[in-house]
Amino acid sequence: MSTFTKITTPNGKTYEQPVGLFINNEWVHSDATINTINPSTGEVICSVQAASTKHVDDAVKAANIAFERDDWSGISGAQRGDYLYKISQLIKRDQELLASIEAMDNGKPYEKECINVDVEQASAVFKYYAGWADKITGQYIGTEVLGSGRIAYTDPCPIGTVGQIIPWNFPFLMLSWKIAPALATGNTVVLKSSEITPLSALYFAKLCKEAGLPKGVVNILSGYGKDAGAHLASHPNIQKIAFTGSTFTGGKIMEAAASSNLKNVTLECGGKSPYIVFDDCDFDAAIEWGFKGIFHNKGEVCSSTSRFFIQDTIYDKFVEAFVKYVEEYAKVSDPFEKGCIIGPLVSDLQYSKVRHYVESGKKEGAKLLTGEFIDGPGYYAKPFVFADCTDDMTIMKEEIFGPVVGITKFKTIDEVIKRSNSSTYGLAASIFTNNITKATQVARKIDSGMIYINSNGNFDLHVPFGGMKMSGIGRELGTYALDMYTEHKAVHINLNLKY
């Protein structure tokens, strides 16, 4: 079987898609395969080759050799920055194709999300960390602190070979969030893509080779979590594992990391984020941002604000206006259709899960105001809005990862803070009020890693992204991500040679 296949995307772009495993700058064959499905049609796009535990071992060995060879960690930060900048420019060059691959493989809108957000931002992430690669410096700690005759300094060192596991909801963007800071700090990488959306990661491997990255620095594997992912997380020669995905799987990865070699762990897991709207808000803005916060990327976003808390004095007015906005604005269509706002759910499995949650909401007494599943082909659903929800309902407690929102009312500040914090998750929260003092006081008391005041779901590559409680460990983006891939070695120097 070849490690490449010719594909024509739904918008007419014909290209050579890698389907093999990218190990040590070579395309490696595997007998095991995974079908990747176009969620717009339910049809197979192609079959990619799946990594076995032996392939993971080979990729880790290649990355270890590359790290020890010093032609990556041993070169200057400026040189590493040159490679990252070249990758950024190659992504920019192939932006339309990469966006087409992403829309075809994931189902997100080509124009509104893939090309103008995901791929464009991925290029910017590599450019950003290219600029940081030669600015990772230590700290001098002098005699005025340590006492006469003693000095010390810190030496920021790469961790080594890192394993990375990315999700299916933002395949290419999450790849950039993980690989770019890891490479900037001098690490080598073995990345496993999601078995549901493997295509853009494999195309990225092609760009790495074109950029001239040394052998073994980046290795890309398609594979199943229970095989390749589990072996990567427990591998004794992986020094760090970075994961984005469900809280359940994150826990399993943490167990594997602890029971193998106590490897460094970064986890970005699930969320059930509150959207708090006070009666002194900009009402129209709260409606529009509320829509974006839950229905962006079909609701398949870990930080989606899927629990709406609306102050009782404006509750009825808000619910009516929000439902009207959803029904008017939520254009559900093929992701390549101009003006598409919501594409199909990513897979048949996810479609079934969302169906389960919608039925749960109905049975538990929530009032369904709008939303419906659309008969195939494809996995389409019009956004679901439930009102008059209670905190003990399943749709208000569990992460759905789909276009479903539950709305409830509150009276006081203390009440909404307590109820917002009742979740086991703590990824994000949004607060709408024109009283900035109130907003910052509430933000301080909400147990979430990210708080949006009078906005929702926006991110910036300069600002840390990550959660509290069962939403994860560590941060991505900004300078915080550099620390996630760096060991700070302390070097003590005794100048007078006396004890």
Where along the chain do its domains lie? 4-269+472-488, 274-460
Q: What is the pLDDT of residue 459?
A: 85
Q: Return the structure tokens found at 123.
A: 């290029």
CB distance 19 to 6 below 8 Å: no
Tens-of-pLDDT digits for all 499 residues of the chain? 699 999 999 999 999 999 999 999 999 999 999 999 999 999 999 999 999 999 999 999 999 999 999 889 899 999 999 999 999 999 999 999 999 999 999 999 999 999 989 999 999 999 999 999 999 999 999 988 888 889 999 999 999 999 999 999 999 999 999 999 999 999 999 999 999 999 999 999 999 999 999 999 999 999 999 999 999 999 999 999 999 999 999 999 999 999 999 999 999 999 999 999 999 999 999 999 999 999 999 999 999 999 999 999 999 999 999 999 999 999 999 999 999 999 999 999 999 999 999 999 999 999 999 999 999 899 999 999 999 999 999 999 999 999 999 999 999 999 999 999 999 999 999 999 999 999 999 999 999 999 999 999 888 999 999 999 999 999 999 999 999 999 999 999 998 877 6
CB distance 96 to 115 below 8 Å: yes
Residues with catalytic function: 268
**Which H or E element spans position 384?**
strand 381-387
CB distance 331 to 297 below 8 Å: no
Domain 274-460: CATH architecture, name and number where available: 3-Layer(aba) Sandwich (3.40)
Who's near 84: CB < 8 A, 6+ residues apart? 126, 127, 129, 130, 133, 180, 183, 184
- The closest alpha carbon to 389, from 362, 416, 420, belongs to 362
- The closest alpha carbon to 73, from 192, 178, 176, 156, belongs to 156
Who's near 437: CB < 8 A, 6+ residues apart? none
CB distance 302 to 168 below 8 Å: no
- The closest alpha carbon to 319, from 384, 396, 386, belongs to 386
Q: What is the pLDDT of residue 147?
A: 82
Q: Return the structure tokens found at 21.
A: 């495993």
Q: At what angle do helices 171-184 and 77-93 cross, to 10 degrees?
A: 160
214 preceded by cis ω (within 30°)?
Answer: no
Who's near 359: CB < 8 A, 6+ residues apart? none
Q: What is the pLDDT of residue 499?
A: 67
d(CA 295, CA 300): 8
d(CA 156, CA 187): 12
Could you tell me how many residues make up the chain? Answer: 499
Which CATH number is 4-269+472-488's, of 3.40.50.450, 3.40.605.10, 3.30.10.20, 3.30.930.10? Answer: 3.40.605.10
Burial of 263 (0-12, 13-18, 19+ CB in 10 A): buried
d(CA 358, CA 350): 12
CB distance 345 to 107 below 8 Å: yes
Query: Reduced to 3 states, what is the DSSP secondary structure of residue 452?
Result: strand
d(CA 66, CA 80): 14
d(CA 496, CA 340): 71
Q: Quickly list DSSP for 469-498.
A: ETTEES-BSHHHHHHHTEEEEEEEEESS--
Who's near 138: CB < 8 A, 6+ residues apart? 153, 154, 155, 156, 488
Q: Quickly list DSSP for 278-341.
A: -TTS-HHHHHHHHHHHHHGGGG--TT---EEEEEGGGHHHHHHHHHHHHHHH--B--TTSTT--
> In the chain, what is the straight-line distance between the N-terminal and C-terminal CA atoms, in Å?
67
| Cα–Cα distance list, 385 to 61, 76, 147 (Å) | 50, 53, 65
DSSP 442: H
Fill in the amino acid letter for 343: G
Q: Return the structure tokens found at 314.
A: 């404006």
d(CA 466, CA 426): 9
d(CA 399, CA 417): 19
